């Protein structure tokens, strides 16, 4: 329900307006009898629209508008006046008022104006979301079986309102998956708010999550809404959930179950409709055993788990990823698009990327773009540590193998990796698919080629 603040020095006028706004528009209405009181209320309450009298003793409507501008209040203001002096109204618009109404106008008209202002505000918010999305729009690249599996999993849980836990190694794309869950979710035009529990000082986490009432603690001069309220009607992405302090975990659980929050230093509850997506690269079960993560929270989050595969489990995606990263990085750097020659690509496909997965690949691509002046990136442009870490099957120069033995070995390696990916790295199933005697034979070949899931 939207909350409208009516500011008028004549109490009867203000009360009448508030009453009519409730009756005709179905709004929550607040009343302030002076400019000071209005600013005070704006600092303490969540207000969606202000109806402001221009003529008031002491601090008049113009002063209020100026003060609102100075303090950065974004809430739309409709000014009203009984004087019919339109020059004054124009002046108010110049100071940031959305529009003006005459005190003599029927309430239906006023409600129409309010609705218009609220709608405009909503659109502004959506525009910001869309602009944000255009900028951060990053497709989930990859068509490997592991990636297909991931996309299916996303599709299955995207639309449900329950919390989802995204797990995967560092740099594997968890945040991208969270954004994809939002995009394919029930409220894609709603906000996507990300909060990284590891990046916030422990004593500020609850403030960031739940906000505070004015005066909740020293320095809390104004009401501040937290991430849960900001994400209302959209998604709240809780990154590095394993780092959340235990006390905040307890509160989080209560919010998820009751779908309402209490701001710090207050006792009124606010309904929240944010869908929670949490992510971690930690083993939460181990964290629970170690007493660092609450078991009840773990079980609540563990209902819908989306596992993001490590890059070494989907090496067949490396070419597509490299192409995508090359294009976007070259565009970002403002350099001519470059290509990667097959030998270099082959080398990148033999590396295990255990340190940082796709993020590591992204950084390597960036370094390669900088390292070469030519159009095509070759093996010699690959950072030495990657080239040397690229597994034992490499020919001395790291180029495409040329002897029959080397070609055969390379083909065998590729067949095995492809089959493993196809079967989700299930050893027995892969061995069967390849027509091998048993899983031990497959393991032996894998050892020979130094293939492992990690």
Ligand X SMILES: Nc1ncnc2c1ncn2[C@@H]1O[C@H](COP(=O)(O)OP(=O)(O)OP(=O)(O)O)[C@@H](O)[C@H]1O
Residues forming contacts to ligand X in the complex (CB under 6 A) are: 138, 140-142, 168, 170-176, 281, 321, 324, 358-359, 362
Residue 141, binding choice from ligand X, Mg ion, none, Cβ under 5 to 8 Å by partner class: ligand X
CA–CA separation, 217 and 34 (whole Å)? 26
Nearest to ligand X of 197, 416 (CB atom): 197
Minimum CB distance to Mg ion, residue 281 (Å): 8
Cα–Cα distances in Å, from 374 out to 331, 335, 341, 407, 445? 16, 11, 11, 28, 39
Q: How far apart are CA 53 and CA 8, in angstroms?
A: 5
Round to whole Å and give the CA distance between 442 and 426.
11
- The listed partner (Mg ion, ligand X, none) that binds 158, CB under 5 to 8 Å by sort, is none
Q: Which span sits near Mg ion by CB under 5 A: 131-139, 169-177, 286-294, 307-315?
A: 169-177
Give the residue with the Cβ less far from ligand X, 328 or 450.
328
280 contacts which partner out of ligand X, Mg ion, none, CB within 5 to 8 A by kind?
none
175 lies in the site for Mg ion, by CB under 5 A: yes
**Which of the listed partners (Mg ion, ligand X, none) does 140 bind, with a CB threshold of 5 to 8 Å by partner kind?**
ligand X
Say whether 254 sits in a helix, a strand or coil: helix
Using CB distances below 5 to 8 A depending on partner kind, what does residue 312 bind out of Mg ion, ligand X, none?
none
Shortest Cβ 238–Mg ion spacing (Å): 11
CB of 151 to ligand X, least distance (A): 10
170 binds, among Mg ion, ligand X, none (CB under 5 to 8 A by kind): ligand X
Grouping H, G, I as helix, E, B as strand and the rest as coil, residue 293 is coil
To the nearest whole angstrom, how small is the minimum distance from the Cβ of residue 147 to Mg ion?
A: 18
**Other beta carbons less than 10 A from residue 143's beta carbon:** 11
46/176 with CB nearer ligand X: 176
Q: Work out how close the CB of 210 gets to Mg ion at its nearest, in angstroms, rounded to a whole number.
A: 22
Q: Which residues of 394-421 are buried (b: 16+ CB within 10 A; e: fewer)?
A: beeebbbbeeeeeeebbeebbebbebbb
Q: How far apart are CA 153 and CA 181, in angstroms?
A: 10
Closest separation between CB of residue 170 and Mg ion, Å?
8
Alpha-carbon dihedral angle through residues 426, 427, 432, 433, given to the nearest 10 degrees: 60
In angstroms, what is the minimal distance from the CB of 357 to ligand X? 7
- Which is nearer to ligand X, 88 or 184 (by Cβ)? 184
Q: Which of helix, strand or coil describes residue 377? A: strand
Which residues are registered as beta bridge partners of 235? Answer: 192, 275
From Mg ion, ligand X, none, which one binds at residue 314 (CB under 5 to 8 Å depending on kind)? none
- Looking at the Cβ atoms of 9 and 175, the one nearer to Mg ion is 175
Residue nearest to ligand X (CB): 173
The number of helices, as runs of H, and strands, as runs of E, in the chain is 19, 16
- Judged on CB neighbours under 10 Å (0-12, 13-18, 19+), 198 is exposed
Q: Does residue 180 belong to the site contacting Mg ion (CB under 5 A)?
A: no
By CB under 5 A, name the binding residues for Mg ion.
175
């Amino acid at each position: 329900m939207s909350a409208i603040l009516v500011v008028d020095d004549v109490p009867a006028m203000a009360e009448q307006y508030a009453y009519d706004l409730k009756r005709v528009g179905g709004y929550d209405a607040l009343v302030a009898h002076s400019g000071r009181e209005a600013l005070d209320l704006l600092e303490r309450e969540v207000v969606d629209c202000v109806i402001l009298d221009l003529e008031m003793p002491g601090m008049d409507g113009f002063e209020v508008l100026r003060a609102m501008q100075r303090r950065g209040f974004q809430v739309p203001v409709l000014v009203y006046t009984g004087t019919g002096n339109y020059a004054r109204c124009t002046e108010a618009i110049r100071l940031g008022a959305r529009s003006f109404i005459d005190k003599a106008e029927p309430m239906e008209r006023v409600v129409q104006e309010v609705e218009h202002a609220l709608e405009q505000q909503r659109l502004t918010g959506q525009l910001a979301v869309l602009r944000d999305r255009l900028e951060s729009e990053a497709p989930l690249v990859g068509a490997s079986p592991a990636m297909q599996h991931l996309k299916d999993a996303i599709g299955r849980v995207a639309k449900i309102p329950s919390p989802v836990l995204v797990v995967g190694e560092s740099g594997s794309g968890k945040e991208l998956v969270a954004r994809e869950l939002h995009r394919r979710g029930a409220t894609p035009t709603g906000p996507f708010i990300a909060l990284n529990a590891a990046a916030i000082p422990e004593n500020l986490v609850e403030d960031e999550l739940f906000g505070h009432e004015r005066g909740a603690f020293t320095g809390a001069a104004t009401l501040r809404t937290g991430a849960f309220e900001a994400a209302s009607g959209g998604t709240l992405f809780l990154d590095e959930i394993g780092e959340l302090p235990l006390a905040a975990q307890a509160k989080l659980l209560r919010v998820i179950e009751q779908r309402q929050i209490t701001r710090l230093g207050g006792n009124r509850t606010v309904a929240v409709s944010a869908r929670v997506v949490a992510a971690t690269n930690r083993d939460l079960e181990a964290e629970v055993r170690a007493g660092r993560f609450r078991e009840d929270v773990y079980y609540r989050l563990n209902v819908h788990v989306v596992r993001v595969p490590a890059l070494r489990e989907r090496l067949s995606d490396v070419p597509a990823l490299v192409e995508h990263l090359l294009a976007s990085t070259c565009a970002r750097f403002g350099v001519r698009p470059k290509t990667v020659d097959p030998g270099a690509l082959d080398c990148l496909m033999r590396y295990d990327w255990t340190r940082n997965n796709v993020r590591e690949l992204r950084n390597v691509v960036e370094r390669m773009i900088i390292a070469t002046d030519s159009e095509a990136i070759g093996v010699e442009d690959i950072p030495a540590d990657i080239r040397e870490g690229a597994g034992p099957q490499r020919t001395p120069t790291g180029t495409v193998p040329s002897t029959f033995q080397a070609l055969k070995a390379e083909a065998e390696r590729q067949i095995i990796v492809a089959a493993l990916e196809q079967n989700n790295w299930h050893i027995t199933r892969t061995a069967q698919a390849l027509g091998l005697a048993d899983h031990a034979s497959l393991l032996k070949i894998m050892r020979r080629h130094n293939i492992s899931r990690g």
